[in-house]
Structure 1
Amino acid sequence: MPPSATTSTAPPTLADRIEDLLPQTQCTKCGYPACRPYAEAIAEGRAAHNQCPPGGAEGVARLSQLLGRAVIPLNPVHGREQPRLLAVIDEQACIGCTLCIQACPVDAIAGAAKQMHTVIDALCTGCELCVAPCPVDCIALVEATPGRSGWQAWSQPQADAARARHDWRAVRLKRDKQENDARLAAKAAAKLREVEAAEAGTPEEQAENARKKAIIQAAMERARLKKLASQDNPSGS
């Protein structure tokens, strides 16, 4: 798995320094889809520095020191500080739907379609995102660090590893989508060539081929425009 660190020699931005202080659980409780967007929002003044329950009071204090702001209580709207949680799958009840795998932001769940899934304990950040998608309610959350919460329940090496897995997952998903889009484009182009080669025939056959050709060309144009839009806005925001 490639490391998340960049080889750039540019000095870290404020968002970079804020992100380094976040626990990287990628839980979205802060109101943002991952730790990085939250760090950027803080740096740009769009979010407060007390919206990260996994970081807890110590996390708020760390951010306060970096930002030169007052230490304030964790905002209860985003949750409460608590011991780190661990997801546990009831393997007898699991139906292998893969929805939990798709939801896990750090690739901490192993399994395949229609096969039993299991959580890799050492990789689970306790984000809770796998619970809601499960259609058979077979995922429970247990305390992994009784009596310890915030940064007392989560180490910097764990945060760094979770960040690397999250970043690599994003790269992998983007690559998989590009490869799938390329396969679909090649399939559409081949079908278009097939239709164009069969244009001769009765008027009815020609009309049907013209209809198919129009449908394929419209689909290819939609795919082209969608690709251009994603290139113009790679973050999807």
Structure 2
Amino acid sequence: MKRKFTLIELLVVIAIIAVLAAMLFPALNKARELAKKSDCLSRKKQMMLGMQFYSNDFRGYLPVYISNLPWSVLISGGWYGTGTTYIPWKILGCPSTHFSGGSKYSDVNDWRHYVSGAIWSNAVNSASGDAKYDERAVALGVYQNMVGSPGTTGKVYITARMKAPSRTPLLADSFCSNLGNAHYGKQHYYVTPAGGCEPESAYWAAYHNGTATAGFADGHAEALSPREWAAKYLMPRLMFDVSRRRLVNCY
């Protein structure tokens, strides 16, 4: 006679499966995030390649924003096709954000909030509370500048002023942590090393298991923890840890 499972035995088996699943899910999530981090690094390299193409065409200037068009629009042809195309705009978002890479949005802000931010570290020491500002200026150069005439005012990076392009991060994952306004999420204008959450700025953000990615002026990209970024590259002072939903001090 064939023996059947009792209800208790069935519940024990289900409990064992549940325990095993609970043990495996964190490992699977970490593995998934590692894959997304690799994808994010690859995208950062492509973004920087597009920035370099732009720089070659515009006398060594790299865009932050010009005439209210952000770097991401200027190099990708995004924002309803109004920019100059150097790279596909689908790669501009971190895969760990809600950026979908689709061709149409009901609101342009849907795209704006999930694109990497340009790092703007030119704030004066007294205004930003950024204790590393002077040290960074000596090591990396003061390479940001305002440019333009009426109707074209903007911010750019000037490659000729960079003392160490391989140590100069320019594009980073960012996050606006002010949950009470319309600019919640990532920002594509600029991310400030000393922190800040004005309408078009945000905190440098760690999306991948506590690490943050950024692209450098020489074209490479790295993923480091908040303290590693500050120790190696003198920035940022504050970073937003997305998984823990809070700001962390880098130095």
Q: Provide TM-score, normalisation by structure 1.
A: 0.25
Kindly name which structure, 1 or 2, has the bigger radius of gyration based on alpha carbons.
1
Q: Provide TM-score, normalisation by structure 2.
A: 0.24
Q: Which has the higher strand share?
A: 2
Q: Which has the higher helix share?
A: 1
